[in-house]
Amino acid sequence: MEAIYHQKATMGKRVAALLLDGVFMNIILSLAFFLLGWNVYVVLTSVAMLLYFGILEGSGMHATLGKYILGLIVVDEDGVPITYSQSFLRALCRYVSGLALGIGYFVAFGDPRCRTWHDKWAHTFVAARVASYAQPQPTHYTDATGSAQLVGVSGLFAGRSYPITGQGLLIGRDQTTCDVVFPDNYRGISRTHCKVQYNPQTRTVVLHDLGSHYGTYTGSGVRLRQGSPVALRSGDEFYLADRNTAFRIVI
């Protein structure tokens, strides 16, 4: 699932990252001077910012060394990590932000998402490296034997619905295995918290707890034990950790 970053970086961390990047760029240029000579040093000095920001922010880190150390990431306006074309456009626009007496940087202090000129022109912003995950759009499953839906009642997934099949839905924080994925830092949810499976013969949904730390509970407040699943009928609810994260079964 695609990682999404919505929490903007603080100005304090952005300034600190810029200072760190200045140190790293000076180290790289100094090494170029001593190892490759004056001529290469002069060429690199003129394009150092373009290469440093363009390559690193378009790489798998999606951040310069300074940003990465401080837990920041460069993303597009939808919160998705940027591509190389966006990173090099952003790096080119940096020259304008700097040449205009640095005004292109200072405008970030008055922007709701702390965007500089080069952020606005490249349609990017700098976010904290705290990810959520794009969830499947609400869908409906139908077949000859009937259908079942998992519907969010409260919490992060309120109003969303997911089809429940015989193979089941895994719920938890592990984006590589779970079908309904909570953010990695979501309190009270285990990496693989619970599983729901639909039985079309009995028209019930079987709820399994998978050894969650904070528990899986029926709507009446009974905590499930691992290895002792319960059957839920249409309209029954259950919740994870507390009632602020509740789901309903609809068949």
CB 61 within 8 A of CB 34: no
Do 105 and 179 reside in the same domain of the chain? no
pLDDT of residue 80: 85
Residue of 176, 155, 158, 121 whose CA lies nearest to 244: 155
Of 77, 99, 132, which residue sits at a domain end? Answer: 132
Report pLDDT digits (tens) over 152-163: 999 889 888 999
pTM exceeding the 0.75 threshold for the entire prediction = no
Which residue is listed with tokens 């899986």? 216
Do 63 and 142 reside in the same domain of the chain? no
pLDDT of residue 145: 42
Handedness of CA 101, 81, 78, 85 (dihedral sign): positive
Do 127 and 9 reside in the same domain of the chain? yes
Phi, psi of 61 (to 5 degrees): -75, -30
Do 64 and 162 reside in the same domain of the chain? no
Report pLDDT digits (tens) over 58-68: 998 999 999 99
Q: Which domain holds residue 56?
A: 3-132
Report pLDDT digits (tens) over 36-48: 888 877 888 889 9
Rounded Cα gap, residues 164 and 172, in angstroms: 15
Do 118 and 185 reside in the same domain of the chain? no
What total number of domains does the chain contain?
2
Do 45 and 13 reside in the same domain of the chain? yes
pLDDT of residue 139: 43
* R_g of the chain, CA atoms, integer Å: 25
Rounded Cα gap, residues 143 and 213, in angstroms: 35
**CATH code for the domain in which residue 203 is found:** 2.60.200.20
Do 126 and 7 reside in the same domain of the chain? yes
DSSP state of 209: E
